[in-house]
Amino acid sequence: MASIEMYGGKPLCGEIEIQGSKNAALPILAATILIDGITILHNCPKILDIFYMVKILESLGCSVLWEGHRIQVDARPCKKICVPEEYAGKMRSSVIFLGPLLAKKKEAFLPYPGGCVIGTRPIDLHMKALSSMNIFFKEEGPWIHAKGEPILGGNIVLDFPSVGATENIVLASVLANGITRLENAAMEPEITELCCFLTKAGAKIQGIGTSVLEIQGVKELKGVEHTIEADRIVAGTYLFAALGTRGQVLLQNAPVGQMRATLEIAQKMGALLCEKDGDLFVDGKNAWERLPYIKTEIYPGFPTDLQSPLLSVLSVAKGNSIVEETIFESRFKVVEELRRLGASMEIEGRQVIIHGKERLNGCCLKAQELRGGAALVIAGLIAKGKTRIIQTQYIKRGYEDICRDLKALGANIFYS
Ligand code: UD1
């Protein structure tokens, strides 16, 4: 399965259920290392990043049972402290093992993390914050060696509300000696979910959902069962696919409460939305209005992960739009590919100026990263004729089965 083909130009129509959240499941899986008992997670998405995460847990000595969307972890046999390069290199989220390994084993070895090609993505904020908890870092060849004995609570103010750094600090502090106060914490829903999961296991965290978290270290965490929430980025991707193709879709179990900024954008473009019993009905028949200026922001603003999918939709809006990327410095790789389909857009610094066209025409495209890859699928469904996308393994990192889902919405799409 290296490429996807589709015949576009047809409105999507139908209903699909939204998969569990990748960005919630990843830190929660890392958090299982902290738990003295069995963790059972439901609704885990069957995606590549979760596969890598499970492989890392197993290589650390955890016993993992993965059946369908249920993952059971027993971290009590976990003895090792070294995150293997083989999987860490494939996924930046492997940095999230730093906090739990330090909390539980007081020491960790981590290769410099990999992931999407969307900027340099350093981990200086993680290291600076953890350093104020009596944790010391040394560079040893390609490895980061971290040690802290004991791990002490501290007062931390993040220079930028990094999602990953906030998660690592929370994970390092739940078993630390004393209280950790974290200011300017990220407020993404995945952090709220991680904190709720840890609280169920016995952690003491105040300020959940706000930018100031106070964590009182406890002696141990106990086994827990948890259901992963639906993925707001996957829901947003399919919403934009409906808008771009002027379709009508029902997104079952969409986390609408976490999608306000995205829904507002869809409405500005002319979409009609209706929320009922946890489902979201999207009518994109008249969603062709331009967006004079939109920027990506930290939560609750418009998420950077949906910026590329939005570019695909705006490529066929009526008139000119501007999209500014404020979170990552290099997240416009998709622009060159969209131009191959006939889209008219240019990059000016951190902005893309899009001149809406009447139609796109199918051709052969190359996915270069996860969300950009999904954006190309949307563009291929908008375009008339046949589109072929290669290197689709990136898409599999975050979407269970994008062809299955879009077929359920009536698309003529298949793996080739
Ligand atoms: C998480 C999400 C990712 C999303 C991003 C922003 C997961 C698994 N991934 O990534 O899908 O796009 O949040 O919402 O949840 N930065 C530094 N130094 C650091 C850490 C970050 O300069 O130590 C910079 C990054 O390069 C980037 C910005 O801060 O420009 C945001 O990064 P961060 O919030 O940490 O994102 P991730 O946790 O990597």
Digit-coded pLDDT (tens) for 145-164: 999 999 999 999 999 999 99
How large is the average pLDDT for residues 378-385?
A: 98
Question: How far is Cα 406 from Cα 251, in angstroms, rounded to an integer?
Answer: 12
Question: How far is Cα 344 from Cα 339, in angstroms, rounded to an integer?
Answer: 6
Question: How far is Cα 365 from Cα 92, in angstroms, rounded to an integer?
Answer: 25
Residue 175 has pLDDT above 90, yes or no: yes
Angle at 231 between CA 5 and CA 223, to 5 degrees: 130
Whose CA is closest to atom 1 on ligand 1? 163
Per-residue model confidence (pLDDT) at position 390: 97
Per-residue model confidence (pLDDT) at position 93: 85
Whose CA is closest to atom 20 on ligand 1? 123
Whose CA is closest to atom 29 on ligand 1? 162
Of how many residues is the chain composed?
A: 416
How large is the average pLDDT for residues 371-384?
A: 98
Per-residue model confidence (pLDDT) at position 39: 98
How large is the average pLDDT for residues 12-20?
A: 98
- 282 three-class SS: strand
Per-residue model confidence (pLDDT) at position 329: 86
How large is the average pLDDT for residues 185-189?
A: 98
Torsion of CA 115, 308, 123, 159, to 10 degrees: -170
Nearest partner of 388 among 118, 125, 55, 7, judged by Cα: 7
pTM reported for the whole predicted model: 0.97
- 203 three-class SS: coil
User: Which residues sit with their C-beta closer than 6 Å to ligand 1?
Assistant: 23, 26, 92-93, 119, 121-126, 160, 162-165, 186, 190, 304-305, 327-328
Whose CA is closest to atom 39 on ligand 1? 164
DSSP 35: E
Q: State the closest ligand 1 atom to the C-alpha of 26, by its place in the atom list counted from 1.
A: 8
How large is the average pLDDT for residues 233-240?
A: 98
183, exposed or middle or buried, with CB in 10 Å at 0-12, 13-18, 19+?
Answer: middle
Using N-to-C axis directions, what is the helix angle for 232-244 and 260-268, rounded to 10°? 10
How large is the average pLDDT for residues 249-257?
A: 98
What residue type is 4 in one-letter code?
Answer: I
Rg (CA), the chain: 21
Residue 115: pLDDT band (50, 70, 90) is: very low
How large is the average pLDDT for residues 182-210?
A: 98
Per-residue model confidence (pLDDT) at position 404: 97
Q: How far, in Å, from the CA of 98 to the mean position of ligand 1?
A: 15
Q: State the closest ligand 1 atom to the C-alpha of 126, by its place in the atom list counted from 1.
A: 23
- Pocket perturbation via mutation, ligand 1, pick of 47, 53, 112, 160 by most ligand atoms within 8 A of CB: 160
Residue 114: pLDDT band (50, 70, 90) is: low
Q: Which residues are catalytic?
A: 116
Residue 113: pLDDT band (50, 70, 90) is: low
Q: How far, in Å, from the CA of 160 to the mean position of ligand 1?
A: 10
Q: Which secondary-structure segment (H or E) carries 113?
A: none
Q: How far, in Å, from the CA of 163 to the mean position of ligand 1?
A: 6
Question: How far is Cα 355 from Cα 320, in angstroms, rounded to an integer?
Answer: 4
Q: State the closest ligand 1 atom to the C-alpha of 305, by its place in the atom list counted from 1.
A: 12
Residue 362: pLDDT band (50, 70, 90) is: very high
Whose CA is closest to atom 24 on ligand 1? 121
Average pLDDT, the chain: 95
Q: How far, in Å, from the CA of 144 to the mean position of ligand 1?
A: 19
Q: How far, in Å, from the CA of 212 to the mean position of ligand 1?
A: 18
Whose CA is closest to atom 11 on ligand 1? 305
Q: State the closest ligand 1 atom to the C-alpha of 186, by its place in the atom list counted from 1.
A: 34
How large is the average pLDDT for residues 260-288?
A: 97
Q: How far, in Å, from the CA of 166 to the mean position of ligand 1?
A: 10
> Per mean pLDDT, which range of 80-94, 223-237, 344-358, 371-385 is the poorest?
80-94
> Per mean pLDDT, which range of 90-104, 184-198, 302-316 is the poorest?
90-104
